[in-house]
Structure 1
Amino acid sequence: MALSPAARSLAARCEPRVNELARRMTRESFEELPGYAELPDDVKDLEIAATVRHGIRLFLRRVEDPDPVPPGSNNRVFRERAAQRAEEGMPLHLLLRTHAVGVYVLWRALRDVARPGEEAALVELVDALLESHPGVVGAVAETYLDERAALETEQRAQLRSLVRGLLDGMVPPGHVLLGELRLDGPALVLALGFEAPPAEGPVAVRRRLRRVQTVLDRTFGVDVHALLDADGGRVIVPGDLVAPDDLPHRLSRSSGLHVRVAAVPAEGPAHITDAARTATEILRITRVCGLPPGLHRLDDVLLEYHLSRRDESSHRIAALLDPVADRPELLETLRTHLAHQQDRRATASALGLHPNTVDNRLAKIDEQTGIDLSSPRGTALAIAALLLRDSEY
């Protein structure tokens, strides 16, 4: 929109005051904004002041030469500065307020140099000023948010890499980031298993995992570091904390699935890898032994854990169940029977069978494998065979 000669003449009288206006904004007007006073002096006096001078001169040039330019071409400097402020961590509200206050200060400067009879010219300039402001603010906000999203994505990737390396034994205990993440002291390592997760798209899975993460953070009152997927995952809880008994229930309510949790404390970062291996093994053992979802610690499966350790005899013990390997219903009955303390009625109820059917299946296992489930030795052999057999696959 072409401006009148009177409007251009009025704007030209502000040209000599550009540096003064920039100093006033950066050292007076912006100081009233919450958080601005804490910024370093060099940022105020150099970068922000330069941006202010660029903005004022850009407006004055537009007044002088209103020929249209390619959309957004005049916003390059604003975008660059917005990206810098995002990287430095300046709050977006503070950045946008500086632009809003800058427009107001410029309007006051135009008003102060206006002479009687130039009211119409002043209105033209204010109209042009307000017309250009949304484009600048939009470019600033868009660039800031894009930069913050990119930075946060990079930070999350670095955090996941560090946590994964710590769990897998690839991060030295003295790593510089461990202190920032509160992982330079004791921690609690969890292994999570979601029972029978449904086949879902990635969006639904991410939503479920966000809910699980929220429950973990709220339960322990700290930022919990989790590596989760649709089936479960591993978690590091900073500090000398204990998992509450109802943690699986809380996670089940948030995820809509039955959740199995294994918890192992680690004295320090050097012990996290071993604790993660132990927690993962506890989770596997509880599944193999048919234990219901819930919170499990090493003491809960101490015998089973010991029996599942591999040595030169392991393959022979695992082979004891080879005769019934093609009978999954017999293996499931055995697993359920052991999980229910060899109570035939409880086993029958869990499997939806008649107790006599359970007896018949157990008799077939005894007959085909030679394992006497009525004896302590036979029970121990059956548990060990199930555990060792599962670990082979």
Structure 2
Amino acid sequence: MAADTLPLLSDAARALAARCERKVNEIARSMTTGAPSTDLSGHAEPPAGAEDGEIAATARDCLRLFLGRGAEGGPTERPEPAGVDRFRECAARYAEEGAPPHLVLRSRLRGTAVLWRALRAVARPGEEAALAELADVLIHVQEGIVGAVCETYPDERSTRASERREERRALVRALLDGFLPPERFPAGLLGLTGGALVLALHFPAEGSDARPPAAAYRRPRRVQAALDRAFGIEVPALLDECGGHAVVPARLAPSADDALLAALRRACSPDIRLAAVRAAGPEEIPGAARTASEVLRVARAGGLPPGLHRLDDVLLEYHLSRRDESSGRIAALLDPIAHREDLVETLRTYLGCRQERRSTARQLGLHPNTVDNRLARIGELTGLDLAAPHGTTLALAALLLRDAAG
């Protein structure tokens, strides 16, 4: 006997199936009456769309599938697609509504038990062998039904989860870009009714550009998971392999501290940069996102080490990086060393280390005398006196303005 077929039914088995088929409506009703809803759903309240009439309709289709095939007398194979599709549709609907998969399976098992009792009730003395044949059919087709449900449910849940993620990403993108009017903003959906803390993140370059595509998504996924764990919610975020933004409910804002930075470093890189800016309401979120991105940029341009940055940490740098009619002339002060990356990086590090030559040397891996020589060369070429507050302020402004222009 093939694995997917059963022998031809005997005349006695076909006659028994036909007698039971005529009682299909009565059997279907018995499946949905006289039992608590939790027998079918496992919930105090059945989900939308799981009315008794619909369950009864599913039962009738399946009973006719089993009994009709038994009455035909041909080789009994796995349920044909038309019969299985009814269960696939039911599993997909329950998955879409977020109900657990045992809803469909328990209904199916209950229907099997009711059908078996009905077959026994109409069986006559001497039909024990025919009853055993139909039991084989019932068990055989059960495998196909359970398989269809178990295949469909996770596929549908995965599809729905992917759709929800994309909808959420589109909502967060519109929110950050300012394309979502405040009156249409579903603050409750994202948990932002009491304001928000907007985070800007920057990930340092990792590996080769030739790395497999899957690698480009690992860090954003890890960072998203770290944010979710840190705040205990699914944080609205828009991330790619270079960084992005996240919007955290204000009530959770105190968690955005060194513990969060440590978690993100473990998930991504020790050199991750994070900026945090508060927004009093949804209408302020786009501006807060732009400010957070600017805080990251000036912190990097000003030579500050990676870590958590706030506007108060870079007030001077932020102010000096704003452009006006003098910006071009200030930026041009560094033209004489623009082609010397070693000098530019030394200047950036020196300013980020608050003019500490030994700290600059340690960070660059140089001897302090080498740092002194480079700073002297920068002064000769640009005319800036890096030993005076005025000269270092001009140099910092020039670096910030050039970085913004570039």
Q: 3-state DSSP class of the match of 1:223?
A: coil
Alignment of 1:381-392 (within 5 A): 381-392=394-405
Cross-structure match for 1:39: 46
Picking from 133, 142, 156, the partner of 1:133 is: 142
Partners of 1:329 and 1:297 in 2: CA distance = 28
Contiguous gaps of at least 5 residues in structure 2? 1-6
Matched, 1:314 2:331: no
Partners of 1:281 and 1:301 in 2: CA distance = 10
Deviations along 1:112-150, whole A, 9 cap, x unmatched? Answer: 222232221111111101101111122223233332222
Picking from 274, 294, 305, the partner of 2:318 is: 305
Distance 1:175 1:35, change over 3 A: farther
1:76: how far off?
2.5
Cross-structure match for 2:294: 281
1:30: how far off?
6.9
Are the aligned partners of 1:288 and 1:335 in contact in 2 as well (CA < 8 Å)?
yes
Alignment of 1:1-393 (within 5 A): 1-29=7-35, 31=37, 32-36=39-43, 38-39=45-46, 43-67=50-74, 71-175=80-184, 177-199=186-208, 200-240=211-251, 241-242=253-254, 243-393=256-406
Partners of 2:11 and 2:272 in 1: CA distance = 75
Partners of 2:235 and 2:103 in 1: CA distance = 30
Deviations along 1:59-96, whole A, 9 cap, x unmatched? Answer: 11110124468952432222233333333333212122
> 13-22 or 333-342: which moved more?
13-22
Are the aligned partners of 2:47 and 2:99 in contact in 1 as well (CA < 8 Å)?
no
**Structure 1 segments of 4+ aligned residues over 4 angstroms from their partners:** 68-71
Are the aligned partners of 1:282 and 1:298 in contact in 2 as well (CA < 8 Å)?
yes
Deviations along 1:205-245, whole A, 9 cap, x unmatched? Answer: 33333222222112112221111111111111123313122
Q: 3-state DSSP class of the match of 1:189?
A: strand
Aligned-residue identity in percent: 59
Partners of 1:329 and 1:211 in 2: CA distance = 34
Partners of 1:274 and 1:57 in 2: CA distance = 63
Distance 1:215 1:66, change over 3 A: farther
- AA at the equivalent of 2:46: L
Partners of 2:250 and 2:122 in 1: CA distance = 63
Cross-structure match for 2:4: none
- AA at the equivalent of 1:309: R
1:258: how far off?
2.4
> 204-213 or 237-246: which moved more?
204-213
Q: 3-state DSSP class of the match of 2:258?
A: coil
TM-score when scaled to structure 2? 0.91
- AA at the equivalent of 2:107: T
Distance 1:250 1:40, change over 3 A: closer
> 278-287 or 30-39: which moved more?
30-39
Q: 3-state DSSP class of the match of 2:149?
A: helix
Distance 1:55 1:36, change over 3 A: farther
Are the aligned partners of 1:317 and 1:381 in contact in 2 as well (CA < 8 Å)?
yes
Q: 3-state DSSP class of the match of 2:275?
A: strand
Partners of 2:142 and 2:10 in 1: CA distance = 20
Aligned length: 393
Q: 3-state DSSP class of the match of 2:164?
A: helix
1:28: how far off?
3.7
- AA at the equivalent of 1:389: R
Q: 3-state DSSP class of the match of 2:233?
A: coil
Q: 3-state DSSP class of the match of 1:237?
A: strand
